[in-house]
Structure 1
Amino acid sequence: MPDREPSITGYLTLGLLAGRDWSAYQLAEQLGRGVAELWPSADRGRYAVLTRLRDEGLVDTRQEHTGKRARTIYSITPEGREALTRWLSTPVRPPSLEFEGMVRVLLSDQGSLDDLRRTLAQTREQARANRDMFARYAAFISETGGTFPERRHLFALANTFMIGHYDHVIAWADWAAQQLDTWPDTVTPATTHQAQVREMLAPGREAWQANGDPSL
């Protein structure tokens, strides 16, 4: 066993190498194809993780030459396959979300109504662009089998989630923008629009009463 567990980026890298050998550039390219939207730190650590995996004995390296140019090719070791298989059998962490636009929404009482509208509009457009990217991936996988045809069924599961996720963000941004129509600013609605706030919170309250404490 390695001295320390690989990071999620490490396991992603092992998963890519489980299917075939790759150069560092090819691995970085694969990690950048939709993975950054699912696991942002994978994009930031995609090169450094290879050194750690090699030091832990989870990947091997060899040199390949094309003319006078040499490149390092990475392959998974039996220990790497064992680590990946073992990790897949462990409990999964709860989902987490990295969403700057939502942080800005929470702090919008310190800015203008136009700032908040702009945040919602930008969030919508970003979600639309990402949804369209995953829609293109879906078409590519459907028509060609994708880069990993042996995993097309698993990519279909993940792709459906990602498109649904961005559809939800788009719908939420449209709905949130409509809520601002009668707001004079980003501060006073806390007291002047209490009925609207209660209406916005009603679905969550009803869900809690149905599944939690009905006394609320």
Structure 2
Amino acid sequence: MVQGDLNTTSFLVLGLLASRDWSAYEIAEQVGRGVAEVWPRADRQRYNTPKRLLERGLVTARTEHTGERRRRTVYSITEAGRDALTEWLGTQSRPPALEFEGLIRVMFAEQGSVEDLRANLRNLREQASQAQQLFVSHAGRLHAPEGGTFPERLHLMTLANKFMIGHFDNMIEWAEWALDETEYWPDTSSPATTHAARSREILSYTMKLARPAGPEPESS
């Protein structure tokens, strides 16, 4: 049975170790290669998680010497660790959560200037563009003949990569659209009334874009 005190970061590390042994530094390095954009908590827990997995018998650790005086700890997944990972993959994932400070700033922008709002939108566009390029570079490595760091996961990494590039493309497109919408706003408060009709027009359009919540129930 999957241990209840394990979290998603624990299984992320087990997933990395399922392919090969990694040192603590290498695990942290892999987390920094795009994983933190998908699961930010992993970045904060990347050095402590292997130690917790070791305490629970889900990984083993050995010390290797990489020079005359340098040592490193290398972790390996155990059978119990593989069993826990397999069982976790068979459970239902939690709904996705979005942590997006820039959007919070948009929601309360009437307390600031329109210049600050538009500067925030430009910053969001730039951040999304930079993050997208990270995954474009990942796509290039996956596309190479050797298939990237995990060639055995090429098909799965491709699925995830397409999502992330599309995710940031949506953010870029939205930021550019929002900059167009706010270009002639005199401030951040008066459009609540002067642009009310435009706001309702946008909302009517976006409601039509929404997909149904789920399949229609079958008739008996």
After TM superposition, the structure 1 stretch with the greater mean CA deviation from structure 2, 197-206 or 22-31, is 197-206
SS of equivalent to 2:76:
strand
Could you tell me how far apart the structure 2 residues matched to 1:157 and 1:117 are?
33
Give the letter for the 2:107 counterpart.
L
Give SS of 2:64's match.
strand
Contact residue 2 and residue 57 of structure 1 kept, 8 A: no
Letter in 2 for 1:36: A
Aligned identity (percent) is 54
Q: Is the contact between residue 2 and residue 87 of structure 2 (CA under 8 Å) also seen in structure 1?
A: no
Mapped to 2, the partners of 1:65 and 1:206 lie a distance apart of 61
Q: Deviations over 1:8-62 (max 9, x none)?
A: 1111100000001110000000011000111111111101111211111111111
Counterpart in 2 of 1:11? 11
Give 2:123's aligned residue: 122
Are 2:132 and 2:168, in contact at CA under 8 Å, matched by a contact in 1? Answer: yes
TM (normalized to structure 1)?
0.93
Distance in 2 between residues matched to 1:205 and 1:74, nearest whole Å: 49
Letter in 1 for 2:75: Y
Structure 1 residues 170 and 207: alpha-carbon distance in aligned structure 2, compared to 1, 3 A threshold: closer
Q: Is the partner of 2:110 in helix, strand or coil?
A: helix
| Matched AA of 1:136 | S
Q: Does the aligned pair in 1 maintain the 2:21–2:75 contact within 8 Å?
A: yes
Give yes or no for the alignment of 1:205 onto 2:183.
Answer: no
Flag structure 2 segments of 5+ consecutive residues without an equivalent. Answer: 214-220
In 1, the alpha carbon distance for the partners of 2:91 and 2:3 equals: 18
Shift of 1:140: 1.1
Q: Over aligned residues, Cα RMSD in angstroms?
A: 1.5
Q: Which residue of 2 aligns with 1:149?
A: 151
Task: Measure, in 2, the Cα distance between the counterparts of 1:201 and 1:91.
Answer: 32
C-alpha deviation, 1:4, in angstroms: 3.0
Deviation at 1:92, TM superposition (A): 1.4
Partner of 2:216: none
Write the deviation string for residues 83-129 of structure 1: whole angstroms up to 9, x where unpaired.
Answer: 10000000111111111110110111111101100010000011111
Q: Distance in 2 between matches of 1:196 and 1:136?
A: 39
Partner of 1:134: 135
Aligned pairs for 1:7-86 within 5 A: 7-66=7-66, 67-86=68-87
**Code of the aligned partner of 1:168:** N
Distance 2:30 2:187 in 1: 45
Are 1:21 and 1:76, in contact at CA under 8 Å, matched by a contact in 2?
Answer: yes
* Total equivalences in the alignment: 211
What is the aligned partner in structure 2 of residue 175 from structure 1?
177
